[in-house]
Amino acid sequence: MDIIADIAMKNRTFILLFFTFLLVSFGWINTVSAQDKILVLKATHENAVIYDGENVKLNWKLNPKVRPDIYYVNLPYKKSKVKLVTDQGAISFKTQYGKSHDLIVLLNGKDSCFVRILAKEDPSFIVLTQNKNKPYPLEIPFTMTGSRIYFKGLLNQKEEVNIQFDLGAGTSCVSKQSSEKLKLLFSGKLMVSNTQGINEARTSSENRIQIGDAVWNAVPLTEVGNMKPDEDLIMGNSFFRDKIIEINYDRKVFLIYNELPKNAKDFTKQAVFYEQHRPKFKAEITQNNRKYSFWFLFDTGREGTMLIGDDFTREGENWGKLKELQMLNERKLIRLDAFIGGRAFKDIVTNAADPLKPTGRPTLFGNQILSQFNVILDNKEGILYLQPNGQSHEPYSDYNRYLKEVGHK
């Protein structure tokens, strides 16, 4: 009996050492001690959910082939809590910048899914080069065409470019009409979803972009065909995720900070979270005597007022409850009121997507509305600050304009 027990103990020891060797090989642990412990969660289905902080809920597909399968915390610079939930249980972690948490999800009792929760910048983050001779804040002038923001910049230290600043852009882009004259080298391809649908696009890496005193190296650019003729590049919030930025429409200047400016106390503030670095904020709309609260994309690159996507219309009975002025290209043209930053925008006319014919475009507010606020976006803490500005009386697409367009007086 003692011999059998001794053999069993040796077998268990061998299995434990072999499992530890695997963890070290995959980079899961750097040193082994009595305190090292990899948490294990069970699941019978590959569909899981990640809750990140107070506002992020993300569907997560368990994949035993990716080791590790990394989830990048939505606000890596802010201490928070992330929870992974399967159909069999849940595990929570307190996050802190630079720290990671590893766990194994045992799928159907046989497949090990290695998941890492990482509070650092994701690979698409673009680092701003610090110029020691130019302390923060960096102040950059901009111009506007319609309601869009443009910077004059320099590409690869020789080509002058017109850059659209678009907080609704998930990636940095170059126009097909500009890429040849800019002498870009293309070395890869990826799939892009935009107003032209889902298409394969060429990519160029290792580019240098400068606007004012701000410089970024190793910038990837994706070639797209849906830009305006006078636009060369599009840059979004991936350039500023470790910064605080201000858009001052009254002065036509864009400011980059390391610390929150003192004037933020004069703004109304609210939380944001990010999808592909794109900020989303909560606003209220009222339509057909019903009030809705929803997370809208803060899209400075959209010329119009707003858009109701199928992410909104597929929730509950939202699609059926929206009362249309008319149907237009399988969308409902609707009239609504919106409430943003303490301001009411009455009688907006916009369109809503049919959830049975999804486009993949999110619910958003465009810069015809958003440019009526001076904006501070604290990407470190996930806070949006809004203050009505001198453009607060600018017209937008409303019901009176709609009546004129359809021939009513």
Cα dist. 26→20, 90, 98, 162, 380 in Å? 10, 24, 19, 45, 31
Give the pLDDT mean for 4-13: 43
Res. 38 pLDDT band, cuts 50 70 90: confident
Q: What is the pLDDT of residue 287?
A: 97
Both tokens of 168, joined, read 């609704």
What integer best gives the mean pLDDT of the chain?
A: 90
Q: What is the pLDDT of residue 196?
A: 64
Give the pLDDT mean for 337-354: 96
Q: What is the pLDDT of residue 146?
A: 93
Cis omega (within 30 of 0) for bond into 68 = yes
Give residue-wise pLDDT tens across range 211-249: 999 999 999 999 998 899 999 999 999 999 999 999 999
Sequence-distant (6+) residues with CB within 8 A of 235 are: 151, 163, 164, 165, 166, 169, 172, 209
Residue 7 in this model has a pLDDT that exceeds 50: no
Give the pLDDT mean for 196-213: 89
Q: What is the pLDDT of residue 377?
A: 98
Q: Which residues pair with 72 in a beta bridge?
A: 118
Give the pLDDT mean for 188-198: 75
Cα dist. 149→72, 152, 161, 248, 284 in Å? 29, 10, 14, 11, 25
Calpha distance 342→269 (Å, rounded): 10
Handedness of CA 142, 304, 391, 283 (dihedral sign): negative
Give residue-wise pLDDT tens across range 117-159: 999 999 999 999 877 778 999 999 999 999 999 999 999 999 9
Q: What is the pLDDT of residue 325?
A: 96
Give the pLDDT mean for 311-332: 95
What share of the chain has pLDDT > 90, as a percent? 80
Residue 14 in this model has a pLDDT that exceeds 90: no
Res. 30 pLDDT band, cuts 50 70 90: very low
Give residue-wise pLDDT tens across range 349-403: 999 999 999 888 999 999 999 999 999 999 999 999 999 999 988 999 999 999 9
Residue 11 in this model has a pLDDT that exceeds 70: no
Give the pLDDT mean for 47-53: 98
Instruction: Count CA atoms within 13 Å of residue 342 on its CB side.
Output: 12
Q: What is the pLDDT of residue 34?
A: 34
Tell how strand 197-211 and strand 278-287 pair up: unpaired
Give residue-wise pLDDT tens across range 175-184: 999 999 999 9
Q: What is the pLDDT of residue 408?
A: 62
Residue 28 in this model has a pLDDT that exceeds 60: no
Res. 15 pLDDT band, cuts 50 70 90: very low
Give the pLDDT mean for 16-39: 47
Give the pLDDT mean for 38-49: 96
Res. 42 pLDDT band, cuts 50 70 90: very high
Residue 202 in this model has a pLDDT that exceeds 60: yes
What's the CATH fold of domain 262-405?
Cathepsin D, subunit A; domain 1 (2.40.70)
User: Are the folds of 128-243 and 262-405 the same?
Assistant: yes
**128-243 CATH pick, 2.40.160.20, 2.40.30.10, 3.40.50.1970, 2.40.70.10:** 2.40.70.10
Domain ranges of the chain: 24-118, 128-243, 262-405
Cis omega (within 30 of 0) for bond into 355 = no
What share of the chain has pLDDT > 70, as a percent? 90
- The answer to pTM > 0.75 is yes
Q: What is the pLDDT of residue 78?
A: 96
